Amino acid sequence: MSCLEPQRRGPFGPPAILPDTVTLEARDLLGLRPVACVTEGAEVATGALVMQDRSRSEIRVVAPVAGRVERVETGLGRRAIRVVIRPDGAARTAPVTVEGDTRDLMLAFGLWPDLRTRPFGRVPDPDASPDAILVDALSGAGVLAAQATPFALGHGLRALTALTKGPVILCQHGGPALAPAEGRVEIDALAPRHDGMARRLRRLHSVARSGEVWVLDVQTAIALGRLCAEGLFDATRLVEIVTPSGAAAGTLRAPLGADLAPVLKEHGWTAPASRPLRRNETQIDPRRDMAVPSDAPLGPIVPVPALAASLPLGMRTIPLLRALQIGDADTARRLGCLDLVEEDMRAASTICASGADYGLLLRRVLDELEGER
């Protein structure tokens, strides 16, 4: 069934920046073994195939901009590490021929790798079907994008219902609904204190015991909606830049993989030579990039309320952090770690005095639990 709907074209936010380079990183494709499908020097059009998964070739990464492939970095066994494209011009939406159902469209236009499974935080199997899909509209950039394009968002959410027999839940802050709740599309609007997808997941559809839920950024749902409703392929995303003082410096539109180092320098950061916009990234806070894992032995966990509140309500945070520190996967599973992925542990890593990178420790435990399945 096609998800084509009557068209509605219109202006959509600020124009996209013209980056020097666009870098597509293989490390954003969790659980995949990508291989490059282009060679250095080749010309690519917007939406052209750039990488694909070795074993499931239908999972594709496409070029967000038209340009020339400047560099293809590969590792052991021809495994792609990154593909760098030098754009011909600014990223713009491209009219495309839309054929097939939602699954086919997401796979064909490279939107599938934006999906993340819970548990384990992987790119889902193209043949799988989750119990529910949660759409993340909690970030400032995501809310702005959703407010600018309610029509496309509504289409995107309706299209996503084809992937699951369960609900498609748009998670937003309180206030007016960003999209209409109809059919299996539901809106979950709570006050900001219930922030974070882990909290929403835990409350709406926990996967700690069983089941699988997919999580998707609202801007991918909008891109899907534009594809379905307007026949336009849009690989740009709104992203919020944070200043060194921690304040939001504003939002800009950039194609996926765009090098944002010059923009960061404008805002007072000592940016590295290159800082590409990563998949599903809605906020650039270079302080997170600067955190280097330390080899120093871990200190004690000081059990304070701020640390206990860093994970979703109902989770036994301190026992879970202790289990993660010692790598006790079984206890961590019993304490609900399957509801979590690395980014949910950021607050705990910041508050805890032990110096542990709980995202890294959680990944080790999740990998072990995934291997046992």
Partner 1 sequence: MRGEFLATLRARAARDATTLRLMAIAPPAAVLFLSAPGAAWPQLLAVVTAALACALVFAEIRGRGPIFEALVPALLMFLFAPPEASPGQLAFALSLALVLGSLIFGGAGFGFLSIGALSLALLAFSFPPLAPVAPVDVVIWAALPGGLLVLLAGLAPWRVVLAGAAGFALAAWPAALDPGYALPLALVLVHLAADPFGAPVTGPGQWLSGLMTGGLVSVLAALGLPGLDLSAGVFAVLLANLFAPLIDAGAIALANWREEARRA
Q: Which of 137, 185, 335, 361 binds partner 1 (CB under 8 A)?
A: 335
CB 354 within 8 A of CB 322: no
Helix (H, G, I), strand (E, B) or coil at 83: strand
Residue from 285, 351, 368, 369 touching partner 1 (CB under 8 A): that is 351
Tokens of 317: 């945070």
Query: Does residue 73 contact residue 60 with C-beta atoms inside 8 Å?
Result: no
Between 248 and 306, whose beta carbon lies closer to partner 1? 306
- Regarding 291 and contact with partner 1 (CB under 8 A), the answer is no
Q: What's the one-letter identity of residue 226?
A: R
Max CA distance (Å), the chain: 60
Cα 279 from Cα 121, distance rounded (Å): 13
Q: How far apart are CA 38 and CA 54, in angstroms?
A: 14
Where residue 47 falls (left for φ over 0; alpha for ψ -120 to 50; beta otherwise) is left
Beta carbon nearer to partner 1, 183 or 314: 314
Per-residue x/- marks for partner 1, 198-237, CB under 8 A? -----------x----------------------------
Question: Are the C-beta atoms of residues 237 and 254 closer than 8 Å to each other?
Answer: yes
The torsion angles phi and psi of 240, rounded to 5 degrees, stand at -95, 135
Question: What is the contact mask toward partner 1 in residues 82 to 111, using x (rule: CB under 8 A)?
Answer: ------------------------------
Tokens of 38: 């282009």
d(CA 84, CA 89): 15
Residue 280 CB, shortest distance to partner 1, in Å, is 27
Of residues 91 and 208, the one with the C-beta less far from partner 1: 208
Residues in 293-322 that interact with partner 1 by CB under 8 A? 296-297, 299-308, 314, 316, 318-319
Residue from the set 56, 92, 103, 334 that interacts with partner 1 by CB under 8 A: 334
- Cβ of residue 321: shortest distance to partner 1, in angstroms? 10
Among the listed ranges 1-9, 44-52, 140-148, 347-355, the one in contact with partner 1 (CB under 8 A) is: 347-355
Contacting residues toward partner 1, per CB under 8 A: 209, 296-297, 299-308, 314, 316, 318-319, 334-335, 351-353
